[in-house]
A = this chain, B = another copy of it.
């Protein structure tokens, strides 16, 4: 079951730079683990912004919230979730 997830990252200037670097590293690792597991199906950068557009595949709303609230950058993100359905004109079922 697919969801579009739009994430905007806003790290406060007051955050310790070393801690920030550590969180970003954790974020990358976490993100790639979910991608390899097939739960984070697509991840694109929005041109010119510290933001991304993603497609998630989760078995339920609860599972999706668990995945998103587990993001190391979650406290510094503004997230918008849009549930997606199969489109009758799509040539694939995804």
Interface residues of A (CB under 8 A from B): 1-5, 12-15, 27-28, 31-32, 35-36, 42-49, 52-53, 55, 60-62, 64-65, 68-69, 79-92, 94
Q: A31-B89, A35-B90, A89-B32 are in contact. Are A45 and B3 (CB under 8 A)?
A: no
- Asked if residues B94 and A42 are in contact (CB atoms below 8 Å), the reply is yes
- Asked if residues B47 and A4 are in contact (CB atoms below 8 Å), the reply is no
Nearest-Cβ distance from residue A5 to partner chain B, whole angstroms: 6
Q: A49–B50 Cα gap in the complex (Å)?
A: 18
Nearest-Cβ distance from residue A70 to partner chain B, whole angstroms: 11
- Asked if residues A47 and B32 are in contact (CB atoms below 8 Å), the reply is no
Nearest-Cβ distance from residue A35 to partner chain B, whole angstroms: 5
